[in-house]
Structure 1
């Protein structure tokens, strides 16, 4: 992952080296801004029904919140009602499977809080699902998620198990129950059965009853170091599952997103949110073009040449409304990935699109950083930001344009 940076106050690091998705910034009501002060006026054009904004709080589990939200939205679209599914049931199962792989690979995979949309699909496929009321994952005296202590304890425990196993050439039979015991202490033990709306379920029977369909989703990315229209395992630390994305040209990545929204599907969005143009408290993310000296007035140029390189860089992100943005090419996108400039930071859900006061298009995005923000937990992402800083997207297979689907090998 990209180094942790500061924006709109302190972003909370996950506490693990090379750790994962950003966590929610600590905010209070005093930091909520007035939309009129941002310089932007957004008009929603197409908005897909979505379940309420949640709060991952001090946990690096945005992948679970955004993945579960995508599934909840799909169930809502299919007439299954508004469900509140448990993110921590997915997180718990992912931790167990990740721990087994970490031990088997001698610690050569990333063991941290982060993950991907495919983790949500795979854990649901393997283990089912539970409603939030049956498994909230808050068994440690907190009202909101806070995973610092648990994540450190799990990683330290596994490293101790691995050192002992390497020394004795044998793993004890207690290591996995011990690991699960830590999860039980923090998240709570998973009941074999639970009652929901007067009916008793197992996690598997519940997932089947409500109609979760993990096999009917596809994940897409867009990079030139692999062939287009074929699958490959995206080379990012959090891809411990080694799951594969379909690789498509950049124009197709946008076309799939637009087609999904037009047809009434929300879209999982994995992206880099550590850029200067990502303004969470102001409710937008833009990708300003570099300032060109040839476009400056004499007075602007006189001031510009006296600035340090750092100050010139910060000038690019002093935004007071719609700005000229970068033209994004496939080559520029690839360069950003290869140079660690675009990294796997955060998982969110695209729920529609809008325009600003100058007619520029934006995607409306649901976050999992609570609602104490200018647009109650939503924000607007410009197309140039999306094109350069998207890591991957996840959509229902029915949302893929037919002309693109037939090219996929």
Structure 2
């Protein structure tokens, strides 16, 4: 996964568009907790999916629970490390992962609130995983190369020790609002059942209505997703939102037309509108399944960043946009819309890799076709 905080750098200082002319109005605005920052980490997958789960907990229980993003990272890193070592270095090891990896973590390790595990050492107020990841990469390279020709039995404990030092040890029991929990019993308390969530996508190189494994670098766990025709993929996103279900989104944000600074994402019909569209409404390109597939196969569309779709807005001409909660903070000098990006339908059609959603948010006819 690309360094996700580069997105902010890419969006800042490159464009000279005047003050925005867009006028946005909320159409659907689902419950969620405030925007926060992933800081200098590549853990957008955990921030976005944890935000998604916070909204699910509100929907299911009415409770607002600030979940620990770093607990899911702490429990997932050893799995990524094992995958890398046992494949003798011929696999991806990075800060990145996907939404289904959070669900896998919940199945094995449960959930904890941020007040119990925040992944920060004493005196720290911001996450910075640069040093930790460099140390882990060096260790894993040594284990994969196996200079002693026989890997010792200590390497897993060594990885856990490093993670304990930088992020903290995995809690086994804790108290929350006067009651005692384990991570698994807390997940039950929050009514989060991983088996109720599915990943949807749309590509033409695989059969529709069947699960398949998408070949992208961060899919280290070989998670499968259901393939849909493009229009049906979008229709299911719309159906979920219309019925109160938010979605976790995996998306390409490496385009000049995705801007956290301006809070907008679009696909212009004309190249000369790349800058213009940052501040005013432009005509967008018609996105076909064939063009979407082409951009994926030529690596113009890549797996960059995960965010949380929480609603819809419309501009003054009635054009619809998805309201996407980002994890780049709320600093007005760096991001617009309080940390939200308004993503056009064209951008969603072309650049969305996949979405994670509760199966009850899926269209009935689609669920039937998928056998859910």
Residue in 2 aligned with 1:87? 69
Deviation at 1:22, TM superposition (A): 4.7
- Cα distance change of structure 1 residues 53 and 316 upon mapping to structure 2, 3 Å threshold: closer
Give me the whole-angstrom Cα distance separating, in 2, the residues matched to 1:358 and 1:193.
53
* Superposed CA offset, 1:334-378 (max 9, x none): 000000000001100111111111111111110111112321111
1:221–1:248 Cα contact (<8 Å) kept? yes
Residue in 1 aligned with 2:317? 358
1:272–1:343 Cα contact (<8 Å) kept? yes
Structure of greater Rg: 1
* Superposed CA offset, 1:58-86 (max 9, x none): 00000000111111101101124000011
Which consecutive unaligned segments of at least 5 residues does structure 1 have? 5-12, 14-20, 292-311
Question: What is the RMSD computed on CA atoms of the aligned residues?
Answer: 2.0
2:31–2:55 Cα contact (<8 Å) kept? yes
Matching of residues 159-238 of structure 1 within 5 Å:
159-164=141-146, 167-238=147-218
Q: TM-score, normalised by structure 1?
A: 0.85
- Cα distance change of structure 1 residues 128 and 23 upon mapping to structure 2, 3 Å threshold: farther
- 1:105 corresponds, among 84, 87, 90, to 87
* Superposed CA offset, 1:125-183 (max 9, x none): 1110111010000127531111111111111111112222xx43422121111110100
**1:323 correspondence with 2:282:** yes
Aligned partner of residue 262 in structure 2, secondary structure = coil
Aligned partner of residue 135 in structure 2, secondary structure = helix
Matching of residues 397-408 of structure 1 within 5 Å:
397-408=359-370
Residue in 2 aligned with 1:303? none
- 2:296 corresponds, among 334, 337, 346, to 337
Give me the whole-angstrom Cα distance separating, in 1, the residues matched to 2:84 and 2:365.
40
**1:387 correspondence with 2:349:** yes
1:47–1:351 Cα contact (<8 Å) kept? yes
Q: Which runs of 4+ in 1 moved over 4 A?
A: 21-24
Residue in 1 aligned with 2:44? 62
Moved more, 271-280 or 241-250: 271-280
2:264–2:342 Cα contact (<8 Å) kept? yes
Give me the whole-angstrom Cα distance separating, in 2, the residues matched to 1:36 and 1:337.
32
2:27–2:311 Cα contact (<8 Å) kept? yes
2:5–2:39 Cα contact (<8 Å) kept? no
2:211–2:226 Cα contact (<8 Å) kept? yes
2:251–2:303 Cα contact (<8 Å) kept? yes
Give me the whole-angstrom Cα distance separating, in 2, the residues matched to 1:122 and 1:374.
33
Give me the whole-angstrom Cα distance separating, in 2, the residues matched to 1:240 and 1:374.
33
Residue in 2 aligned with 1:8? none
Give me the whole-angstrom Cα distance separating, in 1, the residues matched to 2:167 and 2:128.
11
2:76–2:105 Cα contact (<8 Å) kept? yes
Residue in 1 aligned with 2:219? 239
Give me the whole-angstrom Cα distance separating, in 2, the residues matched to 1:220 and 1:176.
34
Residue in 1 aligned with 2:97? 115
**1:279 correspondence with 2:259:** yes
Deviation at 1:24, TM superposition (A): 6.2
Residue in 1 aligned with 2:8? 25
1:86–1:136 Cα contact (<8 Å) kept? yes
* Superposed CA offset, 1:232-278 (max 9, x none): 11110000000001000000110110000000011111111111111
Q: TM-score, normalised by structure 2?
A: 0.93
Give me the whole-angstrom Cα distance separating, in 1, the residues matched to 2:276 and 2:134.
37
1:223–1:249 Cα contact (<8 Å) kept? yes
- 1:128 corresponds, among 93, 110, 113, to 110
- Cα distance change of structure 1 residues 23 and 51 upon mapping to structure 2, 3 Å threshold: farther
